[in-house]
Structure 1
């Protein structure tokens, strides 16, 4: 994968070797070392299309005889992690995936085109959300997934109910459990969803967030302004924790390209980390975003600001995945909070959180006066 010079190796978390300063940007695409295909997936046109994409790329494909994924665990958890992160499974989404869940404060509802992500972010929030080895599962029953969405029109509690966002219509988040752009060259599912929303005669919006940059297949799609493409960006001192993603420069260029193609766009600053000199670091990021959009007339830009937090379970998983990481996760430096489900999470102390919020929101207003902040969390 292409890593920033400051990014650590995605598996060992040791400092990566720097490349030439003038190296061209290259949003290199993920090539899984193993592609598993279940029999049920091949009953769907999308499953057969994904198989064809994998075969056309010369990837090693295993056609399974059962619809269960087995043999993914290993006595060595590090080996299990590495092998899972290099595996794409083409499967059918279970019925539970068609019972949509609300996803505040981002959107009314979340739906999943896939589950799992090929990146190696040392703070990955999926570490505490998904069970088992982190295989990327791409869903073949795309027609059923998209065909299920109309039942949720006007039923949400975020954009469907909030006066400040009602113009967005009913919003559907497609990147809760995956990065759909990071696997788009293998699935085509994001393009299909964008086209579906563009042709949907209703007040709706598709939303996705990405840390990747290969947006070329999306630029000419008939999106009709009904997809908001949000790019997850971090200050350069914090970007070193984002292994296996497109470089910050490539993501900034992709943000500008999508805006010039008429897409509503978004900036997801996540996770905000109290790195040394964080006010200057995040102010610098916002100036870079402004430069990336400088040739776009009246950009439709939203901003989502998400501070770093962790749970005891996610910390244990992440320290197992990235034993060399120096990502700060000390409980005695955080405030202990309870989620609405009664579980524990650790966030920044109240005074620091207030200072960060005031400083960064002021920087957004200064550097991106045309932007609309959706939330701080």
Structure 2
């Protein structure tokens, strides 16, 4: 019996495969990384059906790859270290002119199991994934004695548009590679990283025309390297260690004026550093198409809070909104939550102006809202799936 599916043009079959195996993600999350796009198990079942479907599925099967560094206590041999690169350099079975690495569009290197055994492989791996569009590297948080090899991927992957970096200390100027190679990133996510101030300023200037998604979580300014001393064999760089290890580190928080320059025409923004109401108003003014916003406000004067909430009301494309009222101390990672003193009618205006809202998160020690706030929120937002509001106080007064 002839399969009607196989009688269709290859382009249509590819579209069917693409749509039938998409991996769902929670749209309310600020992940910064949404790969793999497809369910590998579903794709593999389709690929094993026949040779033609295998050939059509092969690019999807290799579109995303993840390589995890062995743990420190694991026995490492030369063969095991080279396994990932040998796999990527394998000729494609049905496309002899290509290697499997040519199909890779998103790559996740999980190097968090140990601070070593990665740099020697980075350059070779980068040369094998030249079509890469999205790169995620999670490093080990321990201090390093050499650079991370980020520059190799920026040299070899000219199509790179998304970058997710975790636990990267900028002691050896790793992020300066972004200034040198100037990738046109649309998404930048840094988690538990340090970066030099002049490097950050340059990156922001370069990415301003293209950047759409910006997520900084626990990102600090790395101080310049001290002058070299004659007793270089001694451990004199303790002050450069990440504050997760040493609370008396010389790292500092990112000044708010840096964020003012970075945020322009964004669709997604998430910051753990607290900002002032005036900074929030500027964010809304220069990024009127924001769809996801996670922000921490450290002002507490009622008039300023009300003015900043009214600014958020203008974001009519908002899908996910997270607002926290607290002062955050990024070096110690401590925070002080305080009450929101905005009048209750402000919050009623907010929910009335955001019909597309699917997720709402408000954190404060006291939030004053009208008694009909919750019923109106639920009745007027058919797409609303997640609501989390801390410390509500009801009032009958506006």
TM-score normalized by structure 1?
0.29
Which structure has the greater CA radius of gyration?
Answer: 2
Q: Which has the higher contact order (CA 8 A, sep 6+)?
A: 1
TM norm structure 2:
0.28
